[in-house]
Amino acid sequence: MLAITILYPRTADSTFDMDYYTATHMPMFAEGLGESCQGWGAASVADGPYMAMGWAMVDSRENFDAAMAEHGAAVMGDVPNYTNVMPELLVGEVAGGS
């Protein structure tokens, strides 16, 4: 299982439209992942170097890579619709949990 985490850096003039992110962008991302998406979420972060984050659980790296090859350009093309910063992507291999 992959834990995909997307971090949005806080800068002096950074902006983030959380309504658009949760209502439009993340559902688009999840739809691109299709049945391989095992859940997603989004959160605002009040303090520190990041202002917002998103995440999605994906059943395998193969399915994630295939979905990004097909839908990645459209997903990335939507980023300027909700923020003026570049997201940082963490592709985590889940090692444990409860």
By CB under 8 A, name the binding residues for a copy of itself: 2-3, 5, 7, 18, 21-23, 26-27, 30, 39-50, 52-53, 55, 88-98
For a copy of itself, which is the closer residue by CB, 55 or 66?
A: 55
CB of 5 to a copy of itself, least distance (A): 7
Minimal distance in Å, beta carbon 51 to a copy of itself?
A: 10
> Would you say 21 and 78 are in contact if contact means Cβ atoms under 8 Å apart?
no
Contacts of 85 (CB under 8 A, 6+ apart): 8, 9, 11, 14, 16
CB of 48 or CB of 77, closer to a copy of itself: 48
